[in-house]
Amino acid sequence: MKSAACIRRNPANPVLSAKNVPYPASLVFNAGITKYQGRYVMVFRNDYGVTQADVDAGSKRPWDLRTNIGLAFSDDGVAWKVEPKPCFEMKSDEVSRAYDPRLTVIDGRVVMCFAVDTKHGVRGGIAVTEDFEKFEVKHLTAPDNRNMVLFPEKIGGHYVRLERPFPVYSRGGKDRFDIWMSRSPDLSFWGQTDLVLGVEDVPYSNDKIGPAAPPIRTKKGWLTTFHAVDRDDAARGKNGWEAKWTKRYTGGIMLLDLADPSKVIGMSKEPLLFPEAPYEVSGGYRDHVIFPGGMVAEPDGEVKIYYGAGDAVECLATAHVDELLALCVSPR
Ligand code: BMA
């Protein structure tokens, strides 16, 4: 497998990594990116407190990493400046961390969706901000759910999100996870949940799928990426910092109906982004991981797709919107 021919990786990749961060940082990835008030803004997952050298020396373990969410701005979407302090963190007796933030501008405010690890399961969070200093948390899902992304407009009078509950018990005790959609009148109460795409519909996933970057509006429908995981337990052994990591994460693309985004109009039956570049296949925390988290549609038709690579750095690839739409031709 390989990435779609229309994908152009930015020569500056990775566009953000730990060395650009002015506070403790080991892994900078899985960011949310949008345009807000004339600038590009990025909220990134920052894992800190453990280095690869610590792990190799046996003095710390990968799961001792802690996480906060950092903030960066850019005038061109390529060169980023990180603010002096992280902008968001959740920690209490119950909650160990918030991570994997996604950004959507709606009604002039920024909505951040994120994942939350708690003692009683993984929850999806939704917070609203206008300045990236004060965040009002509007909602936390029941466990287990994450990878939530909000559409940039109300649809049929409702806020709409894609999400990825992970029902282990009812899916044979394995990762067989799918993409779902829910609606809300106010960002706090969520319901009217529908299945959007099942893992069995993605030929290059034998494990699980989930949302990736928040959808963008096009004349043909909502264009949206997703992540797709395949496992090869026999062939993939030591990979990144961990003793064994057998999953590979690729990015997929599909087109959803403008009026009812639970309907898939078309999808690509091949990956959009497949781990190939050096920073995607080696030297990461978990190699062979691509996780799109931000998609920005430019006025000239270019689409910027931001993605975490190797759970270690943040990267950028571009394609023309018409090229991306041309990929979304297969029925579900
Ligand atoms: C998932 C999440 C993501 C991560 C991915 C690959 O379960 O933890 O944040 O990018 O695994 O390790």
Q: Pick the range with the lowest mean pLDDT from 52-56, 73-77, 80-84, 164-168.
A: 52-56
Mutate to test the pocket of ligand 1, among 230, 249, 280, 313 (most ligand atoms within 8 A of CB): 249
Average pLDDT for 268-274: 98
Q: Which two tokens stand for residue 47?
A: 């894992």
Cα(48) to centroid(ligand 1), Å: 16
Q: What is the pLDDT of residues 19-41, one digit of tens each?
A: 999 999 999 999 999 999 999 99
For the residues 242-248, what does the mean pLDDT come to? 92
**Percent of all residues in the chain with a pLDDT value above 90, rounded to a whole number:** 95
pTM over 0.95: yes
> What confidence tier does 69 reach under pLDDT thresholds 50, 70, 90?
very high
Q: What is the pLDDT of residue 241?
A: 92
Give me the chain's average pLDDT, please. Answer: 97
The domains located in the chain, with CATH, are 8-327 (2.115.10.20)
pLDDT digits (tens, 9 = 90+) for 96-124: 999 999 999 999 999 999 999 999 999 99
* Contact between 113 and 148 (Cβ < 8 Å): yes
CA distance 45 to 331: 34
Q: Is the CB of 291 under 6 A from ligand 1?
A: yes
- Please tell me the predicted confidence (pLDDT) of residue 332: 85
Contact indicator for 320, 301 with CB cutoff of 8 Å: yes
Residue 242 predicted with pLDDT over 90: no
Residue 238 has pLDDT above 90, yes or no: no
For the segment 198-223, the average pLDDT, to the nearest whole number, is: 98
Residue 185 has pLDDT above 90, yes or no: yes
Q: Name the percent of the chain lying above pLDDT 70.
A: 100
Q: How many CB atoms lie within 10 A of CB 57?
A: 9
Ligand 1, atom nearest to 29 Cα: 10
Q: Are 34 and 129 spatial neighbours (Cβ–Cβ below 8 Å)?
A: no
Over residues 190-204, mean pLDDT: 98
Does ligand 1 lie within 6 Å of residue 147's CB atom? no
Assign 18 to helix, strand or coil: helix
Higher pLDDT, 234 or 138: 138
How many C-beta neighbours within 10 Å does residue 132 have? 18
Decide: 30 in ligand 1 pocket, CB within 6 A: yes
Quote the pLDDT of residue 243: 85
The pLDDT of residue 129 is 98
Nearest-atom number in ligand 1 for the CA of 245 is 12
Q: How far is the CA of 226 from the centre of ligand 1 (A)?
A: 13
CA atoms within 13 A on the CB side of 52: 14
The residues near 188 (Cβ < 8 Å, ≥ 6 apart) are 138, 139
